[in-house]
Amino acid sequence: MISTFSAKLVEKIQLSADVFSVTFTYTDSPLVFLPGQYIIAHIPSGTNSVRRLYSIDTSPEQTESFSLLVRHVPNGIGSSYLHALPLGSEVTFQGPAGLFTLKETDRPKIYLATGTGITPFLSILRNQLLHPLVPSVPQTLLWGLRTLQEVYYTEELHTLEKKVNGFTSKICLSQESTLPDQNGFQTGRITTALPPLLDLYKSQGEFYICGGKDVVAALKQYLLDAEVPSDSIFFERFT
């Protein structure tokens, strides 16, 4: 059930040149949501307000606060408002919304994210620190970014790999020709890292996609062309 609630901005962290994290505390009862769902922010615009959708990146078990990842788009109404919002300010939200949640199956999970499309997967994986999947299944995250300067949360991904059974991740950098001397990086787009996973899981895996709408459409078509069943592809494309 979607409800309307207010929350107070208590933290803002710049993660890269154009991506920042905002953390809000609830001013009333905590939101009850499923990992992967999103909320709707009411952004003042003149005498009215506009709605902007943001996936939650925290686990539902974190009941005092929640966090969002925001890419600051020049002249973007929602991102510019949140970027300039002073600490202590209150924002009206609605939620939870969305069906982008894990299916309760024993099938391998492949997560395909670009940019801040990693957000719902962070909620899904962080939740598994307290509620592991039963039975444990392989889970792989491919995260597409352009350059090394855009990367954040690498330490947390390494921690999740150690603590979440069956989880591995790889960051795909589309505009880099050389990589740092450490594991977990690959040059090229997500599609350069997908073939080995398709060889393993094409017929039995579940493929979850989140990112910009054009990228989501392209990745969905790539999977369909590779003969992944359409009912094994799930996506969110508002970020």
The owner of tokens 């992967």 is 36
CATH value at residue 65: 2.40.30.10
Clarify whether residues 190 and 223 are in a common domain: yes
In a domain, 104, yes or no: no
Structure-derived torsion over alpha carbons of residues 183, 189, 191, 195, reported in degrees to the nearest 10: -30
Clarify whether residues 90 and 115 are in a common domain: no
pLDDT at 216 over 80: yes
Q: How far apart are CA 81 and CA 141, in angstroms?
A: 30
pLDDT at 32 over 70: yes
Clarify whether residues 127 and 83 are in a common domain: no
* Pure H helices in the chain: 77-84, 119-128, 154-163, 190-201, 213-225
Clarify whether residues 72 and 16 are in a common domain: yes
CA-closest candidate to residue 68, choices 55, 86, 49: 55
* pLDDT for residue 205: 97
Q: Two tokens at 55?
A: 């996936």
Are 118 and 47 in contact, with CB atoms under 8 Å apart? no
Q: Two tokens at 81?
A: 């408002």
Q: What is the pLDDT of residues 130-185, one digit of tens each?
A: 999 999 999 999 999 999 999 999 999 999 999 999 999 999 999 998 887 677 89
pLDDT at 238 over 90: no
Sequence-distant (6+) residues with CB within 8 A of 225 are none
Q: What is the mean pLDDT of the chain?
A: 95
Clarify whether residues 128 and 208 are in a common domain: yes
In a domain, 121, yes or no: yes
Are 66 and 7 in contact, with CB atoms under 8 Å apart? yes
Tally the domains of the chain.
2
Host domain of residue 195: 109-236
In a domain, 85, yes or no: yes
Clarify whether residues 205 and 140 are in a common domain: yes
CATH value at residue 186: 3.40.50.80
Clarify whether residues 121 and 208 are in a common domain: yes
